[in-house]
Amino acid sequence: MIEGIFVDGLIFSIMALGIFISYKIMDLADLTCDGSFATGAAVAAVCIKSGLGITLALILGFAAGALSGMATALIHCRLRIPGLLAGILVMTMLYSVNLRILGGANVPLLGVKKFYTEVPRILGFLPSEWASLAGTIAIVLLMKGLVDLFFRTDLGLSVGAMGGNEQVVISQGMNPETLKVIGLGFSNGLIGFSGALLAQYQGFADANLGTGMVVQGLAAIMIGDFLFSTNRISLLTLRVILGSIIYKALMYGGRKYGYLVGITPNDFKLLTGLLVILSLAVAKARSGASDRGARRKAMDKVAAKANGGCNADA
């Protein structure tokens, strides 16, 4: 059972990494996720069904997600539609696209080779749950490695700089639109990949798979924020993964013991939302405190200037 929580949390963490890129690094609230997650799952399911193989299913799941993210970025940049709205538009349109890809509301993956049948077969010396966990850990480490590596490259750093201050990348002669397309493409690629993996884990893909994912991902990221503070990319991504596992464990605990306090799984969305609001409020209060400190310092400076400044035109 415990392995199940970990596998669940780890698959989920790949999606959270995607949201981490858009929300934290690029400072863009991207809602494409709810659609692109299911798109990744749908593409992978159809791939596997038609015998294209597991690897290709995962790669195409990533690609489908990436295309969705790029679509959002292009709508946002080219038509000057706010990012939030662009994401909602793409997410909504993807719902229909996903139904088309699936050819219905749901595609079961029973009796076919998928990641979670093949890995236990290859790692036959382990009990199948543990083999699944090992396979998932390997995949997550690979994805984490990719993210870490990307944000150390010159291109990745520029995407990060854009998130901090768009003017900086403009001043360096880079088109921020290109960086947004690349960033949201990568972000939603991970999200689609996560969907592609989840479809294989739970044995089906359906068009509603992505509902509420953004908020859950944000909750995981914010739980991670409380763990430790750092500015190193490898630790930031580690934090996201840990936060995701903790979030899934909390949900599991809620499902199992929630009845003791009268909580049912129907309440989870409400609780997740409250968790995000609470985290944001705490973060605001913290930065508000340091802002006030900074303002006091600034006031002192102004006072010093008034006393010591001697501009000719003053």
Residue number, 152 or 255, with CB nearest to another protein: 152
- Let me know if 212 is exposed, middle or buried by CB neighbors in 10 A (0-12, 13-18, 19+): middle
| Residues 53, 51: Cα–Cα separation, whole Å | 5
Tokens of 126: 């382990």
Indicate whether 308 belongs to the interface with another protein (CB under 8 A): yes
Within 8 A by CB and 6+ apart from 222, the residues are 243, 275, 276, 279, 280, 283
281 belongs to the binding site for another protein (CB under 8 A): no
What is the rounded distance in angstroms from the CA atom of residue 161 to the CA atom of residue 311?
Answer: 35
Site string for another protein, 121-160 (x = CB under 8 A): -----------------------------x-xxxx-xx-x
φ, ψ for residue 262, nearest 5 deg: 80, 20
Q: How far is the CB of 76 from another protein (least distance, A)?
A: 17
Asked whether the beta carbons of 83 and 75 are under 8 A apart, the reply is: no
Q: Which residue in the set 168, 242, 263, 271 belongs to the binding site for another protein (CB under 8 A)?
A: 168
Q: CB-wise, 105 or 170, nearer to another protein? A: 170
| Options 89, 161, 245, 275; binder of another protein; rule CB under 8 A | 161
* Residues in 199-238 that interact with another protein by CB under 8 A: 231
- Closest CB to another protein among residues 26, 209: 26
Residues numbered 287-306 forming contacts with another protein, rule: CB under 8 A: 298, 301, 304-305
Residues 6+ apart with CB under 8 A from 259: none
Cβ of residue 310: shortest distance to another protein, in angstroms?
A: 8
Q: Does the protein bind another protein through residue 311 (CB under 8 A)?
A: yes
Burial group, residue 66, by CB count within 10 angstroms (0-12, 13-18, 19+)? buried
Instruction: Name 108's bridge partners.
Output: 204
Residues 16-75 that bind another protein (CB under 8 A): 27
Bridge partners for 204 per DSSP: 108
Contact residues for another protein (CB under 8 A)? 27, 150, 152-155, 157-158, 160-165, 167-176, 178, 231, 298, 301, 304-305, 308-309, 311-313
